[in-house]
Amino acid sequence: MSTQAKIQTLPKSQVEITATLPADMLEKYRAQAVKRVAENVKIDGFRKGEVPEKILVAKVGETPILEEMAYLAVGKHYVDILMEHKIDAIGRPEITLTKLAVGNPVEYKIVTAVLPEIKLPEYTKIAEKNLKEKKTVTVEDAEMEKTLLQLRKMRAEKEAGPHTCEEGEECSHGKDEIKEEDLPVLDDAFAQTIGDFKTVDELTAKIKENMLVEKEQKESDRVRLLIMDAILEKTAVELPDIIVEHELDTMMHRMEGDIANMGIKTDDYLQHINKTREDLRNDWRPDAEKRALMQMVVTKIAEEEKLQATEEELLPEVTKVMENYKDADEQHVRAYVDQVVTNQKVFGFLEKGGKK
């Protein structure tokens, strides 16, 4: 059906919808409205929700029923407006009945957040420019020597076992107890105690390989962040509050989970740091805004470049998560994994300077 509605754009990626509904459209919702109002009214001799209409009207009047009829009708009309005008609404709309009277058209106003329009900069050029900042990483001999020394100390401490002190004796523990002469010799025999190595050369080669991989990953992460920061700086978008609030909810949930895993109550922790939940949300807001914007930009780039996760990529990861968290909702897990895999594809795409 064609809807008569006025759409006005508001700041922070919101729209205001004003519209009118004919009075006769409300009548089809009367029975449902009566039932809803009755569920919240207590009348002696009747169960909630089973009060006859005449008795209910005598008790509360027509206005509550008329209001409920209007909200039900507006809810249906609102969906029609969104579809007809192609409005990508998000979150719960704020509905205001501006004119309501028996036998008269209903006038109403709705304010809702919408998916913001994102104007991306030339992200491939930005990526190419920032890729020039990537450094070649190496593992220095001094780093290798330090790591091997730590391995030898750990082996010596393990072989020495726990140290006990006599009463009144001043004790030292850990690395200070191990002297140079107590350290095992760095030879093939030592290498074989560390893992599946036959020679000390195999051990040092593997350690160097692992250190190099770790350094390369850190450098890759650093450059990815440089690229994304540069893209965000030039991205034009108005973030709806609801998206930022959702990110803050996620951050709060994660913090509470981490605290619970340590056996600490959230309220006790907040009291210890002298903060309220609202204080933390205010402190986190800039970070939440950046996280929300980053995810929206990454999602937009994925759409532009058609970088979607395939079923072959999703299935093993979803299966792995479900095996570890058997009570998790599979649809939520799939959505999470899909986002993670897609994000990695986008960052990989940018890290290659926009080449697939």
Q: What is the mean pLDDT of the chain?
A: 89
The pLDDT of 19-48, averaged and rounded, is 86
Lowest mean pLDDT: which of 38-42, 120-124, 126-130?
38-42
pLDDT of residue 52: 84
Q: How confident is the model at residue 156 (pLDDT cuts 50, 70, 90)?
A: confident
Are 84 and 21 in the same domain? yes
Residue 87 in domain: yes
pLDDT of residue 318: 92
Burial 320-338 (b: 16+ CB within 10 A, else e): ebbeeeeeeeeeebbeebb
pLDDT of residue 1: 45
Are 104 and 179 in the same domain? no
Structure tokens at 294: 């980053």
Residue 157 has pLDDT above 50, yes or no: yes
Q: How confident is the model at residue 166 (pLDDT cuts 50, 70, 90)?
A: low
The pLDDT of 20-37, averaged and rounded, is 89
Tell me the residue range of the domain where 146 lies: 133-228
Lowest mean pLDDT: which of 82-86, 157-161, 273-277, 290-294?
157-161
Report how far apart, in Å, the C-alpha atoms of 321 and of each of 19, 115, 251, 258, 344 are: 47, 30, 21, 19, 17
Residue 286 in domain: no
The pLDDT of 164-188, averaged and rounded, is 68
Residue 125 in domain: no
Residue 18 CB contacts under 8 Å (≥ 6 apart), including other chains: 5, 6, 8, 98, 107, 108, 109, 110
Strand partners, 19: 5, 108
Are 73 and 142 in the same domain? no
Residue 318's Cβ-count burial label (10 Å; 0-12, 13-18, 19+) is buried
Residue 238 has pLDDT above 60, yes or no: yes
Are 210 and 142 in the same domain? yes
What CATH number is associated with residue 42?
3.30.70.1050
Long-range contacts of 194-203 (CB under 8 A, 24+ apart): 194/151, 194/155
Residue 103 in domain: yes
Among the candidates 180, 210, 228, a domain finishes at 228
Higher model confidence: residue 345 or residue 4?
345
CB 30 within 8 A of CB 69: yes
Higher model confidence: residue 345 or residue 42?
345
Q: What is the pLDDT of residues 43-92, one digit of tens each?
A: 877 777 678 888 888 888 889 999 999 999 999 999 999 998 899 998 88
pLDDT of residue 325: 86
pLDDT of residue 248: 95
Q: How many domains in the chain?
A: 2
Are 220 and 153 in the same domain? yes
Among the candidates 82, 114, 146, a domain finishes at 114
pLDDT of residue 2: 46
